[in-house]
Amino acid sequence: MTNLKLLLVAVLLVAVSLTFGSYIHGKFIGFAGGILEVYYGVSDRVKSAVSEHFNQAETIKALREENAELKKSAMLLSTFAGELNKILIDKNSSVYEPKVQLVKALSYANLNDYNKFFVNFENFNPNKIYGLISEGKTAGILVNKDGRPLAILQRDEKSNFSVFIGDTQIPGVAGGENNELVVRYIPQWLDPKVGDEVFTSGKDEIFFAGVPVGKVKEIQNGKLYKSAVVEPYVSSEMPAFLYVVTKEN
């Protein structure tokens, strides 16, 4: 009788195990899976927060470096004007006071044209053409586009301003041509050379005189005029900030 009871108990335990074992196992797996899901979710959020923190830190660092460079450019412009004023005072001439205004690039005018973009420019005069300066060098011009200030980089065909080449101040007009910066309309009897520096002349009232443009890298002879291909000092990419020349003399 005792053996029969033990056998019945054993059969009962096996039945319970078979019936509820898979259920309990499933519940345990589900519980563990839930824990893992929560863990991975928290882990992803932590990684995202850390990544965002480092991205913000890098952005802040880049902005600080750019701000330092802008301050340096402003200081150089101010120093240049100050030294020139001393010379003019010695010669009893009028005071030279070039003025520039810092503007921020906003967005491209067209997605497939990287040479034109809008800027935020207060006191913009739509009837005037302005010169653009980046890092103390020419960058292009600023014009009116549907009532908004449009920056045009100097490699663009619609960017044109007067320049001098070399120590002999050979005159010409700098503008874009096939994504190159070219000085055109150089008289045939004048002799620009590769390596000559190019500066703004200020004759067109877009820039003040003496702003560096670049160096001549090639001379082209035409029927009526010569042309000089220039390697500009400023890259053709849209900068975050620019100076607009607001007063030439």
Please, what's the b/e burial string for 131-145 (b: 16 or more CB within 10 A of its CB; e: otherwise)? bbbbbbbbbbbbbee
Last residue of a domain, one of 56, 79, 97: 97
pLDDT of residue 133: 92
Q: Are residues 137 and 215 in the same domain?
A: yes
Q: Are residues 176 and 105 in the same domain?
A: yes
pLDDT of residue 111: 82
Q: Are residues 154 and 46 in the same domain?
A: no
Last residue of a domain, one of 52, 73, 97: 97
Residue 82 has pLDDT above 80, yes or no: no
Tokens coding 36: 């893992």
Q: Are residues 40 and 62 in the same domain?
A: yes
Last residue of a domain, one of 50, 72, 97: 97
- Do β-strands 197-200 and 180-187 pair in parallel, antiparallel, or remain unpaired? unpaired
* SS3 readout for the chain: CHHHHHHHHHHHHHHHHHHHHHHHHHHHHHHHHHHHHHHHHHHHHHHHHHHHHHHHHHHHHHHHHHHHHHHHHHHHHHHHHHHHHHHHHHCCCCCCCCEEEEEEEEEEEECCEEEEEEEECCCCCCCCCEEEEECCEEEEEEEEECCEEEEEECCCCCCEEEEEECCCCEEEEEEEECCEEEEEEEECCCCCCCCCEEEECCCCCCCCCCCEEEEEEEEEECCCEEEEEEEECCCCCCCCEEEEEEECC
Render pLDDT for 40-54 as a digit per residue (tens, 0 to 9). Answer: 565 666 566 656 666
Q: Are residues 181 and 228 in the same domain?
A: yes
Q: Are residues 163 and 148 in the same domain?
A: yes
Q: Are residues 185 and 103 in the same domain?
A: yes
Predicted structure pTM score: 0.64
Q: Are residues 73 and 154 in the same domain?
A: no
Q: Are residues 104 and 92 in the same domain?
A: no
Q: Are residues 91 and 114 in the same domain?
A: no
Q: Are residues 68 and 139 in the same domain?
A: no
- CATH number, residue 173: 2.40.10.350
- CA–CA dist 170, 191 (Å, integer): 8
pLDDT of residue 44: 65
Q: Which domain holds residue 63?
A: 1-97
Residue 165 has pLDDT above 60, yes or no: yes
Q: Are residues 233 and 114 in the same domain?
A: yes
* Structural domains in the chain (count): 2
